[in-house]
Amino acid sequence: MEPSYNFAVWVASLRKAYADVVAVDDVSFEVERGSIFCMIGPNGAGKTTTIECLEGLRRPDAGSMRVAGLDPIANRAGFTRKIGVQLQDIGIPPRMKPREAFRLFATLYPTNISPSELSSALGLDGTLSKPYGSLSGGQKRRVNIALALVGDPEVAFLDEPTTGLDPEYRFRFWEYLKQQNSRGMTVVATTHYMEEAREYCDQVLLMNNGRVVASGPPERLIRRSGLAVRIVLPRAALGTAGGDGLAELPGVVRIRSTERSLFVYGDAGAVGAVAGYLNERDVSPGVIETRPVNLDDIYFLTVGTGDLKGGEE
């Protein structure tokens, strides 16, 4: 497959193994320029290895890739000036102050975002002159994010950037990232927060066991599932009814069972069908908890089952 230079990131049949463990297995995807692209999946799904290959930190065993039009391995010198990278641990010396780190990293790029802008956006004004080693975990994470963005990169790679951040700074981070994105910066991020992926990401890639399980805009993934509603039934309220026959009700598509509850997924007509089912068994429909299906549900129903397929509609 010939690489497309119309995309910020282009990946074809990427594979990476460590001894007998295949971390990334025939992964292909494309990231539109000026978009926010999120990779989701359980720990060990292959997300970080995929990103490390795209950053040029690992050499894949097979496959092709282009980032900002360049091969991360073959075009290393020009490539590093086009990307920003936020790792889980960036390795800043404990005595170095964030202000010094910002100035150092800024010299590596042809253009910069001012440290004052980053500090204000990410709430770092009070930490710039403190030794990095004295900062809290959340402050260090915000410094690492700022260092990934200070060079105003064409493509920013962010690995679980909001882990450890409180809700206020998670919000501030994403709002600032959207602002940079509107100016043309492409963002490739991993996250375990489904609400972030749904609210802020233009496209989501769901990985499991090193492979792509589903991909597309969040709302399209939900729509493609054919599910509209999630109904929760406590087992204790069902009594002897036990839930037998729920799967055959009109509108019911899937049922997940736990020790305490039954999670019933279906189309818009499933709520009425389940309410009627309970009435017939003298169980109050008031025990039903309902809400629209969201990306969390798609994640839980997809990982480990492979029920949802990738590709376009």
* Sign of the CA dihedral with 33 first, then 38, 41, and 47 last: positive
Type of residue numbered 140: K
Rounded mean pLDDT, 262-285: 90
Is 155 in the same domain as 18? yes
Last residue of a domain, one of 189, 207, 222: 222
Q: Is 201 helix (H, G, I), strand (E, B) or coil?
A: coil
The pLDDT value given to residue 102: 92
Is 146 in the same domain as 232? no
Answer yes or no: is 234 within a domain.
yes
d(CA 119, CA 126): 9
Flag whether pLDDT at 309 surpasses 50.
no
**Domain enclosing residue 273, as ranges:** 226-292
Q: Which residue has the tokens 């290959």?
A: 53
Q: Residues 176-193: pLDDT tens digits? A: 999 999 999 999 999 989
Q: Which helix (H) or strand (E) holds 243?
A: none
d(CA 126, CA 95): 16
Long-range pairs for 201-204: beta carbons < 8 A, 24 or more residues apart = 201/36, 201/37, 201/38, 202/32, 202/35, 202/36, 202/37, 203/31, 203/32, 203/35, 203/36, 203/37, 203/38, 204/37, 204/38, 204/39, 204/40, 204/295
Cβ atoms of residues 253 and 274 within 8 Å: no
d(CA 192, CA 50): 16
The pLDDT value given to residue 266: 94
Is 157 in the same domain as 67? yes
Last residue of a domain, one of 222, 243, 277: 222
Is 260 in the same domain as 275? yes
Type of residue numbered 253: V
Flag whether pLDDT at 306 surpasses 50.
no
Is 37 in the same domain as 57? yes
d(CA 73, CA 66): 10
Is 155 in the same domain as 28? yes
Half-sphere exposure of residue 156, counting CA atoms within 13 Å on the CB side? 26
Q: Residues 88-97: pLDDT tens digits? A: 666 789 999 9
More confidently predicted of 135 and 306: 135
How does residue 5 score in pLDDT terms, banded at 50, 70 and 90?
low
Is 216 in the same domain as 260? no
Rg (CA), the chain: 23
Answer yes or no: is 37 within a domain.
yes
Is 50 in the same domain as 196? yes
Answer yes or no: is 313 within a domain.
no
DSSP secondary structure string for all residues of 11-49:
EEEEEEEETTEEEEEEEEEEEETT-EEEEE--TTSSHHH
Encode 116-185 in three state secondary structure. Answer: HHHHHHHCCCCCCCCCHHHCCHHHHHHHHHHHHHCCCCCEEEEECCCCCCCHHHHHHHHHHHHHHHHCCC
The enclosing domain of 146 has a CATH number of 3.40.50.300
Phi-psi group of 244: left, alpha or beta (phi > 0 → left; psi -120 to 50 → alpha; rest → beta): beta
Global pTM exceeds 0.85: yes
Is 215 in the same domain as 236? no
Please enumerate in sequence order all residues whose Cβ is within 8 A of that of 7, keeping only pairs 6 or more positions apart, or say none: 30, 31, 32, 33, 66
Is 131 in the same domain as 260? no
The enclosing domain of 275 has a CATH number of 3.30.70.980
Is 255 in the same domain as 241? yes
Last residue of a domain, one of 195, 222, 249: 222
Is 120 in the same domain as 233? no
What is the domain count for the chain?
2
